[in-house]
Structure 1
Amino acid sequence: MKTRQRIPVPPWGLAVAAMISVQLSSAFSVDLIADVGPAGTAWLRLSMGAIIFLAIARPPLRSVRRPDILPLLGLGVATGLMTIMFLAAIERIPLGTTVAIEFLGPLTVAAIRSHNHKALAWPALALAGVVLLTEPWHGEIDALGVMFAAIAAAGWGAYILLTQRVGDRFTGTGALSLTVPVAAVTAAIVGVPQAAGHLSWEVLLAALGVAVLMPVLPFILEMMALRRMTSTAFGTLMSLEPAFGVLLGLLVLHQQPSIIQFVGITLVVVAGAAAQRGGDRRPSSPEPVTGLEPPLPHALPATSPRNEV
C-alpha cells in the first residue's frame, strides 16, 4: 500500500500567505469602518481575536512576575492604540499609503538597533518613498489621515520594543492570550461609544471574519514560517508588505496608484529589505515561558513578525 507523501509548503509561501491575510483583513475592515467607525472596528476585531486566543490557549498567569506586568500592559495598550490609528488612517487615505507610512516605525527601530549611522539612510529612503506616495505637490493630501498613519508608525515601533521585552519571557499564543485582551479593553474606551447602536449579527460576523484574517491566521502562518527560515530572511520577505497593501488596495478597494506612487512603494520596499541587515538580537533570558507551542527563534526580524493586530 502506497502512502501519499505530503508536499510541504515552502516557508516563504507561508510568510506571503500571512501578509496577504493581513492586508485582506485591512481591506475588508473598510466596510466595517463605515458601519461602526475605526475605533469600533478596532474594538470588535481585537475582542474577537482575544476570545479566539483565550479559547485556544490558557494565559500563563501563574508565570507572570511583577516586572512583567508593565511590559505586558504596555504592549497591550500599544497594540490597541496602533490598531485604532491604522484603521482611522485607512478610512481617509489609500491602504498602500497607510502601510508604507506605518512602515517607517519599524524601519527607524531597525536603523537605531543596528548601531550603524549609515543605517539611518533606509528610513530616509522610505520617507522619500512616502512623499512620492502622498504626492503633496498636488495639494490633495489628507493631513489627518497621514497623521493617524504616523501615530500608528510610532505605535508599531513601540510594539516591536515591547514585544522583544515580553518575548524574552513568554512565547507565541501564551503572550497573545495576555496582551490581546488588554488591547481590546484599550480599544473599548473609544470603540464601544462609537459602535453603540450600530451592532448587528452581520456586523459581529464581519468582525469575526476580519479577526480570523488578522491576527489569528497570520500568527499561525508566521510561527510556522519562522521555524523554517532565519529571522533576517523572514524580515526581508516581510518588507514586501507595503507592496501587498498597494496590491490589495487595488484589487479589493479599487485604489489605483499612479506611476510615481509605484516608484514610491518600491523605495519603501527596498528600504525595508536593506534595513534587515544587522537587525538580529539576542534574548536577555534563555528560558522564556511557553504557551501552547515550543519557543520560536529569539532573534527578531527588524520589522517584527507583525504590525497591527
Structure 2
Amino acid sequence: MPTATAQGLPGLDRIPPIALVLSGVTSIQFGAAVAATLFDDLGPAGTSVLRLTWAAVILMALVRPRVRGRSARDLRLVALFGLTLGGMNVFFYEALDRIPLGVAVTIEFAGPLGVAVAMSRRRLDLVWAALAAVGIVLLSNPFGAGLDTVGLVLTLAAAACWAAYILIAQRATTAYEGSEGLALAMVVAALVPLVPGVAEAGTTLLEPQWLALGACVALASSVIPYSLETEALRRLPANVFGVLMSMEPAVAVLAGFVILGQSLDARELVAMALVVVASVGSSRTAPASAEA
C-alpha cells in the first residue's frame, strides 16, 4: 500500500490535473458551508480551532516533514506562512458568521486578483482590477441596505491574508519539498485561533460529536483541497489554474444554497459575475508559466 512522502499524498499523480482543481474547489466550498453550521455551538473561532488543529494533525501524520537541520530563515518563513494561513481562516469564518458564503468568497477573491495586478506591468490588468472593484462595491451595496460592515471588513482582511499567503507559499516551495512546508505551517496556523476559540467554545471543543465534525471540516476544507491544488499546480499552467479557481464563487453559492439555505438577489449575482469575469480575464491573459 502506498504511503505519503514529503513529495505529497499518494496516488494524486494518476488523476487529471483539471479534475484535481475542480474537486478541490468543490471540497473547500462545501466544507466551508458545513463549518458554518457549527458556529451556533462552537463559534467561528472555535470552529477554526478544530479545523486547523485536525488539519495539522492529519498533514503531519501523512507528510511527516523533516524539522531537524532547518535553517532559522526557513523556520521563520514557515512560521509566517502559518500565521497568514491561520489569519485567513479565522477572518473568513468570522465574516461567514455575518454574510452569505457566496458573497464572502467573491470579495475574498480581491486578494489573489490584487497580487496578480500588482505583479503585472500590463495595462489590461488594470481593467480587470477595475471590473472586480465595481463588483465588490455592488456587493457591499453602500447606497442600500448593504452588507454587515464588520463582515465586509473581516472578508477584506481574509483577502489580504490570502494575498500574503500566495506570496509566502511561493517562497516556501523553494525551501521545502512537496507538502512539508504546508504541514509545518498548519501547526503554526492552529495556534492563531486558539485563545479566542477556547474562550468561545470552552470544553465543548472536546465533545466527541464536535471533534468528529471538526475532523470532517478539516479534511474537506484544508487537507483535501490544499493537497489537490498543490499537485495540480505541478502540472497545469498558472493561467489555466487561475481560470479553474475562478469557479469558486459559483460553487460557494451552490454550497450556501444547498447546505445553508442562502440565496442571492439579482444585484448580488451580477456583482459576483463581474468579479468572476475579472478573475478569469486576468488568468486567461496572463503569460503561461508552465506547460500542461
TM-score, scaled relative to structure 1: 0.84
SS of match in other structure, 1:64: coil
Equivalent residue number for residue 238 of structure 2: 231
| Deviation by residue 1:18-37 (Cα, 9 ceiling, x = unmatched) | 10100011100111111111
Equivalent residue number for residue 155 of structure 1: 161
Unaligned runs of 5+ in 1: 1-7, 282-296, 300-309
Task: Supply the distance in 1 between the matched residues of 2:33 and 2:265 (Cα, whole angstroms).
Answer: 19
Match for 1:261: what amino acid? E
116, 126, 143: which is aligned to 1:120?
126
Match for 1:278: what amino acid? A
Q: 1:1-309 alignment to 2 at 5 Å?
A: 10-199=16-205, 200-276=207-283, 277-278=285-286
Q: Percentage identity across aligned positions? A: 38
* 1:226, distance to aligned residue in structure 2 (A): 3.1
Unaligned runs of 5+ in 2: 1-13
Match for 2:256: what amino acid? G
For the 8 Å contact 2:106–2:249, the answer to whether it is kept is: yes
Task: Supply the distance in 2 between the matched residues of 1:66 and 1:201 (Cα, whole angstroms).
Answer: 38
Task: Please say which of residues 135-144 and 53-62 is displaced more in the overlay.
Answer: 135-144
Task: Supply the distance in 1 between the matched residues of 2:241 and 2:128 (Cα, whole angstroms).
Answer: 18
Task: Please say which of residues 136-145 and 12-21 is displaced more in the overlay.
Answer: 136-145
For the 8 Å contact 2:81–2:165, the answer to whether it is kept is: yes
SS of match in other structure, 2:111: helix
For the 8 Å contact 2:237–2:288, the answer to whether it is kept is: no
Aligned residues: 276
For the 8 Å contact 2:99–2:151, the answer to whether it is kept is: yes
Task: Supply the distance in 1 between the matched residues of 2:256 and 2:287 (Cα, whole angstroms).
Answer: 29
Task: Supply the distance in 2 between the matched residues of 1:140 and 1:44 (Cα, whole angstroms).
Answer: 31
Equivalent residue number for residue 306 of structure 1: none
* 1:279, distance to aligned residue in structure 2 (A): 6.4
**By percentage of residues, which structure has more helix?**
2
Task: Supply the distance in 2 between the matched residues of 1:266 and 1:238 (Cα, whole angstroms).
Answer: 14
| Deviation by residue 1:151-195 (Cα, 9 ceiling, x = unmatched) | 001111111111111111113321122100000012213222222
* 1:120, distance to aligned residue in structure 2 (A): 2.5
Equivalent residue number for residue 286 of structure 1: none
* 1:237, distance to aligned residue in structure 2 (A): 0.9
* 1:271, distance to aligned residue in structure 2 (A): 0.7
For the 8 Å contact 1:112–1:120, the answer to whether it is kept is: no
Task: Please say which of residues 43-52 and 27-36 is displaced more in the overlay.
Answer: 27-36
Task: Supply the distance in 2 between the matched residues of 1:85 and 1:71 (Cα, whole angstroms).
Answer: 21
Task: Please say which of residues 192-201 and 250-259 is displaced more in the overlay.
Answer: 192-201
SS of match in other structure, 2:68: helix
* 1:96, distance to aligned residue in structure 2 (A): 0.7
For the 8 Å contact 2:37–2:260, the answer to whether it is kept is: no
Task: Supply the distance in 1 between the matched residues of 2:140 and 2:261 (Cα, whole angstroms).
Answer: 17
Task: Supply the distance in 1 between the matched residues of 2:165 and 2:287 (Cα, whole angstroms).
Answer: 16
Distance 1:70 1:121, change over 3 A: farther
Task: Please say which of residues 229-238 and 80-89 is displaced more in the overlay.
Answer: 229-238
TM-score, scaled relative to structure 2: 0.88
| Deviation by residue 1:118-162 (Cα, 9 ceiling, x = unmatched) | 413222211211222333332242101001101001111111111
